Amino acid sequence: MTELSPALPRQEPFGVHLMIDGYSASGPLMTDAPALRQLLLDLPGEMGMHPICAPVVVEVGPNCLKDPGGLSGFVMIAESHISFHTFPGRGFVTIDLYTCQTGLDRQATLDRLLHAFRLVDAEVHVQERGLRYPAENLAAF
């Protein structure tokens, strides 16, 4: 059994994980792969992040009763990743943005994404990550 590490004094987190479940989503980003790809090209620079690969957007057909299909898009950034999964038949989109940038302008990023997907309603979750991230290397490589 693995023991949990003892609690350490609070420090600045390693990063921020922004998760959005968007409802009544509409517009081209829900069904237009080139439009979603363009957002994945533009968004990292707008947030001061650095893409390390070309965005990938794929159309996913129906998977099950719960999943009627849509678009899935992803871009890996030096700071981590951004991903989207659209469900146009349900007007639903999931957005996942994880960055080691602790200075992420959360409100500006949220506003940009709410506008881009024309969201009427959203559940927004922000999780700080790496609260016990070591201040220095633990091993030499």
pLDDT, tens only, 67-109 = 778 999 999 999 999 999 999 999 999 999 999 988 889 999 9
9 in a structural domain:
no
- The upper half-sphere exposure of residue 69, i.e. CA atoms within 13 Å in the direction of its Cβ, equals 7
Number of domains in the chain: 1
Our measurement of the distance from residue 121's CA atom to the centroid of its chain's CA atoms, rounded to an integer in Å, reads: 17
- Find the catalytic residue in 17, 24, 83, 100: 100
97 in a structural domain:
yes
8 in a structural domain:
no
Residue 138: pLDDT over 90: no
| Catalytic annotation present for 26 | no
What is the C-alpha separation between 75 and 44, in angstroms, rounded? 9
Q: Tokens for 78?
A: 């030096």
pTM of the model: 0.85
- Find the catalytic residue in 26, 50, 85, 115: 85
Residue 135: pLDDT over 90: no
| Catalytic annotation present for 24 | no
10 in a structural domain:
no
| Mean of the per-residue pLDDT values of the chain | 90
Residue 7: pLDDT over 80: no
Domain that holds residue 26: 15-129
4 in a structural domain:
no
Q: What is the pLDDT of residue 53?
A: 96
Cβ proximity of 121 and 21 under 8 Å: no
| Catalytic annotation present for 80 | yes
Q: What is the pLDDT of residue 123?
A: 97
What is the C-alpha separation between 128 and 131, in angstroms, rounded? 7
pLDDT > 90 fraction of the chain, expressed in percent and rounded:
71
40 in a structural domain:
yes
Give the CATH number, domain containing residue 56: 3.60.90.10
